Chain A
């Protein structure tokens, strides 16, 4: 049988369309149920910025995180990779900085992924490389991410970094327990899900000597974080956006 070029191209196009169509239909049917199960925890963090001693040169939490997660020290500031970092108070709560006690506003705040209950980043991801788990942790699959950076545009908290180059040469001590990333993918704080799975608290919480970070389950009425949120005034970043951040700042 002789196949003309036109026939070949048409057959190829029809096959591709058929495979794609089938794949689409099956994947829509198999969409996972991401609604939280009643018995699952919702992990959250409260940062007491009166206790935080960054201004005295303490950077234990950042150091612990960098070591645990192979975060590179990128020399170029524009291409920085940050999972947890400090930011001046005025940048974080710009509308709530006037007339506030300067003792508070002069403190930088520790910022990290908010692990939103309604994350704008997971919604926009075209490949499902970032998604929310039932326990509220917003995860990243660095092997599926195509590096389109749509999630970075969608995140209202600047929580996501992109590997503009191969990060491995910039990692001081590689931790063999945790994967390093490749160039061209997005990364961010994972709430230490690898440590939670082993029953440990996040590395930054463990690293904080002042016990300024409280980590726990919001669904557990007896948890430390619940009582902290009950007794202290807590702020969330841009709550009006409806994202439902899981990171709180205790006044």
Chain B
């Protein structure tokens, strides 16, 4: 199976080398962080989580969004997704791997990580997050591997795989719900203390994930000629439209509650997100760029003439992904710490080291995905 990923044209190897260069840089920077401590990042006593945990949160969403192709294909027999379902499951595997790496690089004492297994703490949401993430990784790896190896031998997928696939559906919902509970269970942080957090996470995940999948399909069409069909793309676009709309609605609901209730800490934490607090422009630039990208994308998705234009649709997908990446992958996590429970503000800006380590992890995810998709395309084009 792996041999399919070991042959490729010049472009393919150039891409792999580029990813390896990013991975190498990230690894070198991580070594520096490991030696000197987390002081090399922009995090502080008051903003104690930053880019790493933000990216972890965002990619849990991308992983969970695989159900947006799994449910239609396996439960509703939506034939358009015949060539997409596996791509979604493989995207989930690569995303979970990234999530785990983002957690690892965030730890102050990564060599002690097995303490989570040696001294399991069922009262901690983080324990359940570990259980749900590793379970989801296992489920998707089993499904994807067995589907592919059956296809390689020209056989239908084994019967026992069906229940595993069905189990992966509620499991996908659980990973992102549990991730939301990491934050929404903390009374100390008004921005996170919201029952809407889990539904909002799911909605934004189901927008960002399928948007990325559309872009990946286009890349596959251009580079390999593998074509899941126009119907699959337009169906995915519909999913993005609904999910992005619900996600935006939930953000507005949160803003209303925080502003209208007049609770001081809630108002201040929102002010830090969208305007100024004590004269400081906290996450304002990120949040407004994110909001404008979302408004632009929704306009494209809502107007039939625009969304039928290929370039506009792809731009809208990039915009949805970028918008939610900023909102959930950085601003929401940092914003939870601003202001601190004592009303003080500490600016957070990721350092170059932090960006390099994050880029290394994205490159690992991209490399995994490249290899997975190369194998998939190789097996499927040989079968035709």
Contact = CB atoms under 8 A, between A and B. Distances in A.
B344 interface: yes
Interface string A73-116: 00010111010000100111011000000000000000000000
Given A124-B125, A146-B108, A162 B115 contact: no
B150 interface: no
A69 B344 CA distance: 26
A126 interface: yes
A181 B157 CA distance: 54
B interface, size bucket: 35 or more
Contact of B119 (A76, A80, A144, A155): A144
Interface string A221-251: 0000000000000000010011100000000
A208 to B, nearest CB: 23
Contact of B108 (A149, A157, A242): A149
Contact of A153 (B44, B103, B118, B188): B188
A120 interface: yes
Contacts of B118: 23, 127
Contacts of A129: 115, 119
Contacts of A125: 121, 124
Contacts of A41: none
A68 to B, nearest CB: 21
B273 to A, nearest CB: 17
Contacts of A120: 186-188
A49 interface: no
Contacts of B329: none
B123 A123 contact: yes
A24 B39 contact: no
Interface string B261-286: 00010000000000000000000000
B107 A147 contact: yes
Nearest to B337: A153
Contacts of A162: 38, 45, 48, 108
B96 to A, nearest CB: 16
A214 interface: no
Contacts of B125: 124
A82 B341 CA distance: 16
Contacts of A80: 45
B113 A146 contact: yes
A145 interface: yes
A236 B185 CA distance: 22
Interface of A: 20, 23-24, 27-28, 76, 78-80, 82, 87, 90-92, 94-95, 120, 123-129, 144-150, 152-158, 161-166, 182-186, 238, 241-243
8 contacts: A23-B117, A82-B45, A94-B342, A153-B186, A154-B186, A162-B38, A165-B37, A183-B108
